[in-house]
Amino acid sequence: MATSTSSKLCKAVKQQYMDLPQGDKVQAMYIWIDGTGEGLRCKTRTLDSEPKTIEDLPEWNFDGSSTYQSEGSNSDMYLIPQAMFRDPFRKDPNKLVLCEVLKYNHKPAETNLRQMCKKIMDMVLNQHPWFGMEQEYTVLGTDGHPFGWPSNGFPGPQGPYYCGVGADKAYGRDVVEAHYRACLYAGVKICGTNAEVMPAQWEFQIGPCEGIEMGDHLWMARFLLHRVCEDFGVVASFDPKPIPGNWNGAGCHTNFSTKEMREDGGLKYIEESIERLAKRHQYHIRAYDPKGGLDNARRLTGHHETSNINEFSAGVANRGASIRIPRSVGQEKKGYFEDRRPSANCDPYAVTEALVRTCLLNEEGEELVKYK
């Protein structure tokens, strides 16, 4: 099993230094999405006191030419703090700071989808849109081989691994447990975890979150997972189909509801939203992975608990449909629905924005409506 060399450094030696007092200074790690739309970057600065609100955090900058975000001749990009969390690695009073990226002219970078998402969410505040996203991922060695799989060959076929227990069924649980606790410490709204259908594949759930908070908390949870995996010397992959063939892919199923859907008789509003989604399937497919649907095409085949990427379907308790209405929602006539199309590497800002545009702002067609 290939693991990183840095994970083999003596952690006890490091801990000697981490136990040293830091005076009244605070370390703030600034985190942002790079030019791939999938990768995360970070760097740390010292603050003179503990920030209590976002307004206490200064703007910062970085070299965008090294993150696929600018040319070297005009490389400065701006980091604008937007959400702050406790730091589970350095512990209190240190902070993790999720930032938006602005270009030299203070316009959003191409992969800064948060700014528009926030604008759209602000337009529907009175409808209280709630989201919950189920993030699947695969634990790999540094050589790209799934964690715990035989070096030459494959493990036994799928069946015993989903929610499995035991050394021959659950591969990499230490990563999962460490990540869960790191999220709780940080203040990320993690609500559960489970082993997934393919061995070495896991899932964590974030939510319920209202509006822009969904994207903020899922991106921070992803960052924490990458950092935890770094300590263990392994890699977290969000590839929608990490292993070709007869193995499950990885998605990011998105649960969605509004105040009307959650109240008595809410099934009517759920069904109306599904009708709107049916008419705008290709728009959503393009929004649901960072390559405009090309990544999801490898996963959404109509097999392995997916719908075909070219077809829209919906049903109660149907895990092979584009949209699933949970059985309890069908019985109680209120609640939420699950969009099973988003890929594991989706941008949650793009996904949640698309759902609001179609379901609440009643947009139609393939083009985005531009609002003042």
Q: What pLDDT digit, counting tens, does each position of 182-215 carry? A: 999 999 999 999 999 999 999 999 999 999 999 9
Indicate the pLDDT class of residue 74, thresholds 50, 70 and 90: confident
Q: How far apart are CA 43 and CA 25, in angstroms?
A: 16
Indicate the pLDDT class of residue 82, thresholds 50, 70 and 90: very high
User: Could you tell me how many residues make up the chain?
Assistant: 372
Indicate the pLDDT class of residue 50, thresholds 50, 70 and 90: very high
Q: DSSP states of 9-47 as a string?
A: S-HHHHHHHHTS--TT-EEEEEEEE-TTSS-EEEEEEEE
Q: Is the pLDDT of residue 157 over 80?
A: yes
Average pLDDT, the chain: 96
**What pLDDT is stored for residue 73 in this prediction?**
73
**What pLDDT is stored for residue 287 in this prediction?**
97
Over residues 238-256, the pLDDT tens digits come to 999 999 999 999 999 999 9
Mean pLDDT score, 58-67: 96
**What pLDDT is stored for residue 156 in this prediction?**
93
Residue 20, Cβ density class (10 Å: 0-12 exposed, 13-18 middle, ≥19 buried): exposed
Indicate the pLDDT class of residue 75, thresholds 50, 70 and 90: confident
Indicate the pLDDT class of residue 102, thresholds 50, 70 and 90: very high
Instruction: Express as a percent the part of the chain with pLDDT over 70.
Output: 100
**What pLDDT is stored for residue 143 in this prediction?**
94
Whole-prediction pTM value? 0.97
Between 120 and 151, the higher pLDDT residue: 120
Indicate the pLDDT class of residue 71, thresholds 50, 70 and 90: confident
Instruction: Record the tokens describing residue 84, joined without a space.
Output: 């702050």
Mean pLDDT score, 2-24: 95
Indicate the pLDDT class of residue 232, thresholds 50, 70 and 90: very high
Indicate the pLDDT class of residue 346, thresholds 50, 70 and 90: very high
- In what helix (H) or strand (E) does residue 254 lie, and over which residues does it extend? strand 252-257
The phi and psi torsions of 32 (rounded to 5 degrees) equal -150, 165
**What pLDDT is stored for residue 22 in this prediction?**
97
